[in-house]
A and B are shown apart, each in its own frame.
Chain A
Amino acid sequence: MTVLRTSWGLSLRFRPRALGVGAGAAVLAAGFGLVALGSGDYPMGPADVLRTLTGGGTVAEQFIVLELRLPRLVTALLVGAALALAGTVFQSLVRNPLGSPDILGFTQGASTGALVVVVLGGSSLALAGAAVVGGLGTGLVIYALAWRRGVHGYRLILVGIGVAAILTGVNGYLLTRAPLMEAARAVLWLTGSLDGRGWANAGPLLVVLVVLAPLVLVGCAPALRMMELGDDAASALGVPVRRLRLVLLAAAVLLVSFAAAAAGPVSFVALVAPHVAKRLTRAPGPNLLPSMAVGAALLVGADLVAQRAFAGHQLPVGVVTGVIGGGYLVWLLAMERRAGRL
């Protein structure tokens, strides 16, 4: 812990290591981004990419970088950061390292909304909107079902798992009702993909993140840290436990829903990014900012692999995050068992 103080009573406290992890992950994400912007069918060097980004370059380069590759990169950064932030909040609120939106049903809800549009036939804008509605609706249902003098960790997890199972069944049914071509498009969406994402995809998520990230990071983080001591201890320290939990759940569900609307339900980023950040910062408590940077770097890196690992063949990014995330989860469980904690 490092403390900065001024003579007129201002005092700020921070962990240099956590700041370092956040900055390191941000630099990594920027590096991945630079490579992603410069590679592909029309390769460019980093210098050319930077020149184009700052307004130089040829018309063709401008089009390729600013119109084709940059929106995809920005979408990846935003989706990664939003999922990581939501995942960290969920894990901290339910006090369970597996409490991610993939497991609690919110992601499945967003998918249900999107699939309804696929079956009925609709534009990709309608699909994104339906994903948001599906995610938020699922959030409301889970909150109502888990409510009993407030919403507590285990109830939320169990209700969430139940709702997730129901929605997975519903989603399977919807897929069988979709026309063949539409079903193929739906499966691609369900995997989570950044293919062909434009500014229209990044825009709404950017707005949501700009509003909610300060609310969570500045407004709620200190109280969230107190909530880790248990509801009773937090409440004794003056945290309005119920209201805070409601605000944070709403914020996390919004983030997940808009992230799903932008890129589909990309798996495991929300689960893995908080764990990676925690391990790197070695700090107790929710590492919100480092998690966001890790999530952004993870998704940009995974998308780079998805685009470029197999020449001439693009993978949906969800395949890559699934493989990385699943692998990490297995490793985590093995480590926990070795440490005697599981």
Chain B
Amino acid sequence: MRPGESRLGGTALTLAYDQRTIAENLTVAVPDRSFTVIIGPNACGKSTLLRALSRMLRPSAGAVLLDGRDIHDLPARKVARTLGLLPQSSIAPDGISVAELVARGRYPHQGLLRQWSREDERVVEESMAATGVDDLADRAVDELSGGQRQRVWIAMALAQQTPLLLLDEPTTYLDIAHQIEILDLCARLHEEQGRTLVAVLHDLNHAARYATHLIAMRDGRVVAAGEPASVVTADLVAEVFGLPCRVIDDPETGTPLVVPAARRRATTLAPEPA
């Protein structure tokens, strides 16, 4: 596949829960081998879009295409060998060990007579090493810290060995150091393993720093998509989030850095004195 092409995308999607429509006529493409980040205010439909892209929500109109085919025409197991998902919240069964949980990522590759191949064993070990949880292998998942636990879930998704990996708000509930740790890990997986990553993130500055492709959404529409440097502008942040701000260069990376405008005194709507 040529670079720049897209293996995953949606055309003319209408996304709805029961009667509540979240998005209409939504078209997105995830560039192959990109680290795509979807941003937008609460309830803009970004998590809903991720659910649709991962086959968990069937669009009421339009189609999600994976390698050119409607994702709902493909068998669940086949999709699970191409596209992985780290959900916003998962449940670790009582007392399960790290190695056992990561091993469950091998499910789509296993069968009745192929329950635990050498390949399974090798991939699980590699996944734990790549996420730095190999020395926790025998620990119970319940005993781990939030950051460690998130790395274990990522290891499980890696063990699934999918070229595409979707992450739904992977940094929520983590403190700032662990947020950066998880995002560094994602960037490494993207660069070193050549995986296509799609993540929903809340923090604009994280998105601008780590993404190679940004999709900005508001009210179920894509407002802008492209490289962070061209997408993250003061005008766009005002349009998408309704937040007055300045955008400067991140002194560490040179990527756009959003600095919210200072609180105005008196009425917030008063124009700034010259």
Chain A residues at the B interface, C-beta cutoff of 8 Å: 1, 3, 5, 9-13, 95, 149, 218, 222-223, 225-226, 228-230, 232-233, 235-240, 282, 284-285
Choose among B86, B108, B112 the residue that contacts A238 (Cβ–Cβ < 8 A): B108
B105 in the interface, Cβ–Cβ < 8 Å? yes
- Which stretch from B113-121, B183-191, B202-210 is at the chain A interface? B113-121
Choose among A13, A223, A285 the residue that contacts B115 (Cβ–Cβ < 8 A): A13
Task: Please measure, in the bound complex, the distance between the C-alpha atom of A149 and the C-alpha atom of B90, giving whole angstroms.
Answer: 19
B139 in the interface, Cβ–Cβ < 8 Å? no
- Say whether A225 contacts B56, CB under 8 Å: no
Known: A236-B85, A284-B96. A228 touches B110 (CB 8 A): no
B79 in the interface, Cβ–Cβ < 8 Å? yes
Closest chain-A Cβ to B116's Cβ sits at a distance in Å of 4
List of A residues within 8 angstroms of B180 by Cβ:
none
Give the nearest-CB partner of A285 in chain B: B93
Closest chain-B Cβ to A233's Cβ sits at a distance in Å of 4
Task: Please measure, in the bound complex, the distance between the C-alpha atom of A239 and the C-alpha atom of B105, giving whole angstroms.
Answer: 12
- Say whether A10 contacts B114, CB under 8 Å: yes
Can you list 25 A-B contacts with CB-CB less than 8 angstroms, sorted by A residue number?
A3-B115, A5-B118, A9-B117, A10-B114, A11-B114, A11-B115, A11-B120, A95-B91, A149-B18, A218-B112, A228-B93, A230-B87, A232-B87, A232-B90, A236-B84, A236-B157, A237-B80, A237-B104, A238-B75, A238-B77, A238-B78, A238-B79, A238-B107, A240-B76, A282-B95
Task: Please measure, in the bound complex, the distance between the C-alpha atom of A13 and the C-alpha atom of B77, giving whole angstroms.
Answer: 20
Known: A228-B91, A228-B93. A237 touches B116 (CB 8 A): no
Query: Which residue, A13, A226, A237, has most C-beta atoms of chain B within 10 A?
Result: A237
- Say whether A230 contacts B91, CB under 8 Å: yes
Known: A9-B114, A222-B110, A226-B107. A233 touches B90 (CB 8 A): yes
List of B residues within 8 angstroms of A285 by Cβ:
93, 96
List of B residues within 8 angstroms of A230 by Cβ:
87, 89-91
How many cross-chain pairs have Cβ atoms below 8 Å apart between A and B?
A: 92
Task: Please measure, in the bound complex, the distance between the C-alpha atom of A149 and the C-alpha atom of B58, giving whole angstroms.
Answer: 11
Closest chain-A Cβ to B38's Cβ sits at a distance in Å of 17
List of B residues within 8 angstroms of A235 by Cβ:
55-56, 76, 85
Closest chain-B Cβ to A231's Cβ sits at a distance in Å of 8
Give the nearest-CB partner of B153 in chain A: A233
Task: Please measure, in the bound complex, the distance between the C-alpha atom of A254 and the C-alpha atom of B210, giving whole angstroms.
Answer: 53
Task: Please measure, in the bound complex, the distance between the C-alpha atom of A3 and the C-alpha atom of B106, giving whole angstroms.
Answer: 15
- Say whether A232 contacts B115, CB under 8 Å: no
- Say whether A13 contacts B56, CB under 8 Å: no
Give the nearest-CB partner of A3 in chain B: B116
- Say whether A284 contacts B116, CB under 8 Å: no
Closest chain-A Cβ to B55's Cβ sits at a distance in Å of 7
List of B residues within 8 angstroms of A9 by Cβ:
114, 117
Known: A236-B80, A238-B79. A226 touches B56 (CB 8 A): no
Give 5 A-B pairs besides A9-B117, A236-B54 with Cβ atoms closer than 8 angstroms.
Answer: A230-B89, A233-B87, A235-B56, A236-B157, A237-B80
List of A residues within 8 angstroms of B78 by Cβ:
238
List of A residues within 8 angstroms of B100 by Cβ:
1, 284
- Say whether B93 contacts A13, CB under 8 Å: no
List of B residues within 8 angstroms of A282 by Cβ:
95
Known: A229-B90, A237-B107, A284-B100. A10 touches B113 (CB 8 A): yes
- Say whether A236 contacts B116, CB under 8 Å: no
Please provide the 10 A-B residue pairs with the shortest distance between their CB atoms, ordered closest to farther. A238-B80, A232-B87, A236-B85, A238-B77, A13-B116, A284-B93, A284-B96, A238-B108, A233-B90, A13-B115
Task: Please measure, in the bound complex, the distance between the C-alpha atom of A222 and the C-alpha atom of B95, giving whole angstroms.
Answer: 18
Query: Which residue, A226, A229, A236, has most C-beta atoms of chain B within 10 A?
Result: A236
Closest chain-B Cβ to A270's Cβ sits at a distance in Å of 20
- Say whether B116 contacts A11, CB under 8 Å: yes
B36 in the interface, Cβ–Cβ < 8 Å? no
List of B residues within 8 angstroms of A240 by Cβ:
76
List of A residues within 8 angstroms of B76 by Cβ:
235, 238-240
Closest chain-A Cβ to B84's Cβ sits at a distance in Å of 6
- Say whether A236 contacts B87, CB under 8 Å: yes
Choose among B77, B93, B160 the residue that contacts A229 (Cβ–Cβ < 8 A): B93
Closest chain-A Cβ to B107's Cβ sits at a distance in Å of 5
